[in-house]
């Protein structure tokens, strides 16, 4: 779990957020047409005190054993293997469900299941499986001239000779490039993104947090969108909030890659929820705060902005129907 986190600007933390209708897919499409103008500034946040890390870590590793029975590499040896995985984020979320955590020094029991009227963040994450970027970076070597032997050597950052005895500099440089590609190593998402930005391969274009539009989702999520400068590919850094202060306590990030500008939010939209209550249908989405109420013939009737208000509205309709029958 990452407690210190670059979380995009969060609205209304000093007071209750205003009630507003926001459909994030429509807003996203507008951003595309406007040239992906950056809408939210990054905001460093302070670490929130969490007193139950040992309990959470133990539970996390127990979850890892269940999904990793063949003892494949995990976080303990991530220097050897790419660990940019949606499953790792899912495991972090599962590790907090039904357990007691500490929020501002006070114990808080986390729900074991997802409440009615909320999209399960795990469903969204599962839809991202297969889109993960292989966050590995090549080694960094250089070619030095050995004046004593009049030869060229390939050196690492510790000034150790990797290979030596090259008569021509061009030959040494060619071999250096081969060795750098052969000796890749796993990198964290942040280091990988920094490396790609330094090379000018990607540029950050937008960022947001589901807290800002009160999405109907079990765990708020933070994301940053990067546009490739080479082709039409889009990279998305995604993390889910676990508990406590929405400005901290996020999962590790996962980096996703899509072929176009729209797939990311389309996948989230495909996880929209639907519930029935007393014969009425209720549609909701992680991309919107609105609950759309349908009648038995699937005709849209009403929009509410809280699950409790939905239930109250339908109860009122049923009561009216019952009175009319009497």
Same domain for 321 and 179: no
**pLDDT digits over 165-213, tens only?**
999 999 999 999 999 999 988 999 999 999 999 999 999 999 999 999 9
Pick from 284, 309, 294: which is nearest to 123 by CA?
284
Give the range of the structural domain holding residue 299, as residue numbers without chain letter: 273-325
Same domain for 170 and 78: no
The model's pTM: 0.74
Using pLDDT thresholds of 50, 70 and 90, give the confidence band for residue 57: low
Which residues contact residue 184 at a Cβ distance below 8 angstroms, ignoring those fewer than 6 apart? 136, 137, 138, 139
**H helix and E strand count, the chain:** 8, 17
Among 222, 250, 269, the domain-final residue is 269
**pLDDT digits over 85-125, tens only?**
999 999 999 999 999 999 988 999 999 999 999 999 999 99
The verdict on residue 69 lying in a domain is yes
Same domain for 114 and 39: yes
The verdict on residue 303 lying in a domain is yes
Report residue 274: phi and psi, to 5°: -145, 125
The verdict on residue 1 lying in a domain is no
Same domain for 46 and 143: no
Among 183, 212, 241, the domain-final residue is 183
- Position 83 scores a pLDDT of 75
- Position 33 scores a pLDDT of 52
- Please determine, for residue 29, whether its predicted confidence score (pLDDT) is greater than 80: no
Same domain for 121 and 51: yes
Range with the lowest mean pLDDT among 26-35, 78-87, 111-120? 26-35
- Position 13 scores a pLDDT of 63
Same domain for 223 and 172: no
Give just the sign of the alpha carbon dihedral 245, 247, 249, 255.
positive
| Number of domains into which the chain is organized | 3
């Amino acid at each position: 779990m990452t407690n210190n986190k670059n979380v995009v600007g969060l609205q209304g933390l000093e007071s209750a957020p205003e009630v507003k209708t926001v459909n994030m897919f429509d807003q996203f499409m507008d951003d595309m047409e406007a040239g992906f103008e950056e809408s939210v500034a990054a905001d460093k946040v302070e670490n929130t005190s969490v007193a139950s890390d040992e309990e959470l870590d133990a539970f996390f590793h127990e979850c890892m054993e269940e999904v990793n029975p063949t003892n494949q590499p995990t976080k303990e040896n991530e220097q050897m293997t790419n660990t940019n995985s949606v499953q790792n984020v899912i495991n972090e979320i599962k590790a907090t469900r039904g357990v007691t955590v500490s929020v501002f020094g006070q114990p808080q029991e986390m729900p074991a299941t997802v409440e009615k009227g909320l999209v399960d963040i795990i469903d969204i994450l599962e839809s991202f499986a297969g889109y993960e970027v292989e966050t590995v970076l090549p080694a960094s070597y250089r070619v030095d001239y050995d004046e004593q032997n009049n030869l060229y050597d390939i050196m690492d950052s510790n000034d150790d000779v990797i290979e030596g005895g090259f008569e021509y500099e061009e030959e040494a440089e060619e071999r250096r490039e081969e060795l750098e590609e052969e000796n890749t190593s796993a990198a964290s998402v942040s280091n990988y993104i920094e490396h790609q930005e330094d090379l000018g391969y990607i540029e950050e274009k937008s960022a947001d947090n589901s807290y800002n539009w009160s999405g109907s989702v079990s765990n708020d999520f933070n994301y940053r969108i990067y546009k490739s400068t080479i082709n039409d590919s889009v990279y998305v850094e995604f993390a889910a909030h676990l508990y406590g202060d929405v400005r901290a306590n996020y999962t590790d990030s996962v980096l996703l890659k899509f072929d176009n500008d729209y797939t990311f939010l389309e996948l989230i939209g495909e996880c929209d929820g639907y519930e029935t209550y007393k014969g009425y249908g209720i549609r909701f989405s992680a991309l919107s705060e609105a609950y759309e109420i349908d009648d038995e013939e699937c005709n849209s009737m009403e929009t509410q902005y809280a699950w409790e208000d939905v239930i109250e509205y339908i109860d009122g309709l049923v009561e009216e129907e019952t009175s009319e029958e009497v």
